[in-house]
Amino acid sequence: MVFSSLTFLFFFFPLTLILCFARKGIRWRNGVLLAASLLFYAWGEPIWVLAMIGSSAVNFFCAKKIVHTRVKRERKMWMIIGVATSAALLFAFKYAAFFANTFLALVGVKTRVAGPELPIGISFYTFQVITYTVDVYRRKTRAQKYFSRLLLYVSCFPQLIAGPIVQYSDIAAQIGRRETTPDGFAQGMQRFVIGLGKKVIFANICGSALTAMPLAGGGAALSVGGAWYAAFLYTLQIYFDFSGYSDMAIGIGRILGFSYKENFTYPYVSRSVREFWRRWHISLGSFFRDYVYIPLGGNRRGLKRTIANTLIVWMLTGLWHGANWTFVTWGLFYGLLLTLDLLFLRKVTEKLPAALNWVITMALVMVGWVIFYYPTLGQAMSHIGAMFGLGASGLMDAASLRIIRTYSFFPLIAFIASLPVAPLISRAAPSLALTGRRLEVGRAVWLSACLVLSVLFLVGQSYNPFIYFQF
C-alpha cells in the first residue's frame, strides 16, 4: 500500500484516524496504530512482516541485557549481537547475492546467484532498530519496557517504508506520551496534501516525460540537449517523489501527535556539494554521521584518516541505496567531491560568484543523478558522455525535442516549485495585504485545489510506488 493510492486515501487512512481518536488514552491509540502499521506493511508482503518483528524482538532482548549487565565487555557484546543480527538480515536479503555474483564474475564463472525478494523498506527499519540498541548502549536513552512500543517505533506506518529515518532517542518520549491538537491536525493535513501533490502531480508527470525519452541504451541515442533534459527531468522527479513522501510522513505523524525532523530543506538552492548534502535526505546523513563517521574517528585523527572515513561513509551510503555498482559509484562520486572540497576546492569556490557556484553544484548533482538512475555503469557513462558531447547525436535530437514540446513549460514550473517560493510568499504576504482571513482563505483554496487535482490524477493512474520503496 502506498500513500498515493485511493485505497489509502479513502479507506485505510480515514479508518485509522477514526479508530485512533475514538477513545482517549495512549494505550488505545498505540494499539490501534501498531495494528494499522503491521497491516499497512503486510498489505502487499504478509510474510516479510515477520522479518521486521524478528529484528525488533532480538534488539529488544539485547537492549534489556545491556541495561542489566554492568560489565562493559558484556554490554558491548549484547550491543554487537543486536546490531549484527539486524545487519545480517539486511545483508542476506539485499547484498549476499550481489557479492556472490561479483566474486563469481571475478573468477570467470558465468553462473549467477538469484537473490531473494527484497522486503520493502528493509534498509529504513533496519537502521531505525540499530539506533535503538546503540542509543541504549551509549546510555543516550532508556531501554523500552514494552516490546509493543518498540515495535510501534520500528513499524509506525507514516515513516516505515521510505523514512525519514527516525532515531529512537528523538521519538522515545512521544511513544509513551504525546498530544494531539486541532492545530496539529490541521498542520499535519496541510503538510500531507502538499506531499501528495508533489508526488502525484510533479514527480509522476516528470517521470512520464522521462519514460518517453530515448534512454533504452543509456545516452547512446541522445543529443547533448536531450541528455541534459533527461537528467533535469530525473533531478526533478526524484526530489518531488522523495520529498513528497517525507512531507506526507511528517504530516501524518503530526496528525497522530509525533514530531518528525525535516528530511529536506530546499536542496536545489545549494551552492556547494557540501551544502547539498546538508539539505538532502537529512535523516540518512545524520545516521551515517552519528553511527558510522564519528565512531570511525570522524575528523579527529588527522587529514588522511578524515579522507578515509569520508570515502568509507560514502561507499556505504551508496551501498545502502542498493546492491549495484552504480550505487557504489554514485556514493564514491560524492565521497571524492567532498574530499576534493576538503583539500582545496572550498578555497577556490569561495572566490567565485554565488550564481556560478550554484550552476556548478547543480551540474554535478545532475551528473550524480544520472549515475543513480541507470542499472549499469555502461549506460550511465554513455548518458554522461552525451551530456558533454561524447557520442551524442548532435546538439538536439527530434525525439527529445518532441517531448520538450509535449510537456511545454511544466518541468520549468516544477523546478520553480522546488525552490523556497512558499517562504518567500509568506514573508511578502504583509506587503501584499495577504494577512489574517485573506491569507487563511487563500491557503484553504490552494490546498483544496491541490487535493482535488491530486485525486483526479490518481483516478487515471495505475500503481505508482515511490522511488525509495526499492531501498
Reduced to 3 states (helix: H, G, I; strand: E, B; else coil), residue 152 is helix
Peptide bond into 430 cis (omega under 30): no
203 shares a domain with 164: no
Maximal C-alpha separation, the chain: 72
Last residue of a domain, one of 125, 159, 178: 178
214 shares a domain with 157: no
Reduced to 3 states (helix: H, G, I; strand: E, B; else coil), residue 198 is helix
Q: Is residue 330 part of a domain?
A: yes
Which grid coordinates are listed for 170? 528523538
Q: Is residue 8 part of a domain?
A: no
Which residues, in sequence order, are CB contacts of 433 under 8 Å at separation 6+?
none
171 shares a domain with 50: yes
Identify the pLDDT of residue 469. 59
Look at the block and give the residue holding cell 550554484.
358
174 shares a domain with 189: no
Q: Is residue 3 part of a domain?
A: no
The C-alpha atoms of residue 467 and residue 469 are separated, in whole angstroms, by: 6
- Answer yes or no: are the C-beta atoms of 330 and 318 closer than 8 Å: yes
The C-alpha atoms of residue 175 and residue 168 are separated, in whole angstroms, by: 10
- Answer yes or no: are the C-beta atoms of 174 and 258 closer than 8 Å: yes
Distances (CA, A) of 341 to 18, 77, 200, 307: 52, 38, 37, 11
384 shares a domain with 340: yes
Identify the pLDDT of residue 434. 56
252 shares a domain with 124: no
Q: Is the dihedral of CA 52, 318, 244, 204 positive or negative?
A: negative
Identify the pLDDT of residue 53. 93
344 shares a domain with 256: yes
Q: Is residue 10 part of a domain?
A: no
Q: Which domain holds residue 190?
A: 184-459
Identify the pLDDT of residue 465. 64
The C-alpha atoms of residue 92 and residue 312 are separated, in whole angstroms, by: 21
321 shares a domain with 208: yes
The C-alpha atoms of residue 320 and residue 238 are separated, in whole angstroms, by: 17
The DSSP call for residue 471 is: -
Last residue of a domain, one of 160, 178, 196: 178
Last residue of a domain, one of 141, 159, 178: 178
373 shares a domain with 339: yes
State which residues of the chain have pLDDT below 70: 163, 216-220, 426-439, 460-471
191 shares a domain with 170: no
The C-alpha atoms of residue 118 and residue 92 are separated, in whole angstroms, by: 10
68 is catalytic: no
128 shares a domain with 219: no
Which grid coordinates are listed for 143? 531501554
The candidate with the shortest Cα–Cα distance to 8, out of 151, 200, 205, 243, is 200
Which grid coordinates are listed for 252? 501524518
Q: Is residue 22 part of a domain?
A: no
Q: Is residue 464 part of a domain?
A: no
- Answer yes or no: are the C-beta atoms of 199 and 246 closer than 8 Å: no
Catalytic residue among 68, 281, 321, 383: 321
The C-alpha atoms of residue 415 and residue 203 are separated, in whole angstroms, by: 11
300 shares a domain with 188: yes
Number of domain units in the chain: 2
- Answer yes or no: are the C-beta atoms of 259 and 174 closer than 8 Å: yes
Q: Is residue 251 part of a domain?
A: yes
Helix 122-137 with 168-176: angle, nearest 10 deg? 90
Q: Is residue 296 part of a domain?
A: yes
The C-alpha atoms of residue 191 and residue 259 are separated, in whole angstroms, by: 13
DSSP states of 395-450 as a string? S--HHHHHHHHHHTTHHHHHHHHTSSHHHHHHHHTGGGT--HHHHHHHHHHHHHHH
